[in-house]
């Protein structure tokens, strides 16, 4: 039995502002559908990822900004940091740990993202 993680709902307060941020960060805007006045679904996918995020209206009861860690894995943390900075995204310095090299950023609501370069084996 395979269980594939396909979608994570990220709670945001302003859908258009969040969509603009994620597209600026390099995510592909896959879908933006207003189902009715109480339901809007926006799907965005990080480059190279099999898992997407969704933002919108009427999707989750979580408070905006409450996600404490969403992890993206990259080949090179320095390159990821440089790419995000070039896109105008505020990112941390490289955080060197025995289990990898990390860069952190937050979306406009404060949802926290970690970017990890796995240690060489």
CA torsion, points 110, 66, 111, 55, in degrees to nearest 10? -110
Q: Which domains does the chain have, with CATH numbers?
A: 7-117 (3.10.180.10)
Beta-bridged to residue 102, according to DSSP, are 95, 116
Token pair listed for 36: 């009715």
Cα-based angle 88, 93, 97 (whole degrees, multiple of 5): 140
- Describe the strand order of the beta sheet including 100-106 as a list of residue ranges: 70-74, 112-117, 100-106, 95-97
Cα–Cα distance measured from residue 62 to residue 75, given in angstroms and rounded to the nearest whole number: 31
Helix extents (H) in 25-87: 77-86
**For residue 100, how many C-alpha atoms fall within 13 Å in the half-sphere facing its CB?**
15
pLDDT at 120: 85
pLDDT at 118: 97
pLDDT by residue for the chain (121 residues), tens only, comes to 999 999 999 999 999 999 999 999 999 999 999 999 999 999 999 999 999 999 999 999 999 999 999 999 999 999 999 999 999 999 999 999 999 999 999 999 999 999 999 998 7
Residue given tokens 């740990």 in the structure block: 97
């Amino acid at each position: 039995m395979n269980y594939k993680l396909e979608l994570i709902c990220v709670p945001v307060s302003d859908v258009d502002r969040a969509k603009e941020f994620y597209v600026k960060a390099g995510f592909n805007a896959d879908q933006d559908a207003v189902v009715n006045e109480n339901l809007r679904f926006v799907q965005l996918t990080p480059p190279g990822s099999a898992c997407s995020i969704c933002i919108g209206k009427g999707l989750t009861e979580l408070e905006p900004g409450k996600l404490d860690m969403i992890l993206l894995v990259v080949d090179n943390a320095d390159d990821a940091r440089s790419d995000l900075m070039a896109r105008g995204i505020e990112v941390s310095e490289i955080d060197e740990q025995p289990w990898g090299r990390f860069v952190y950023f937050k979306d406009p609501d404060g949802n926290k993202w970690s970017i990890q370069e796995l240690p060489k084996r």
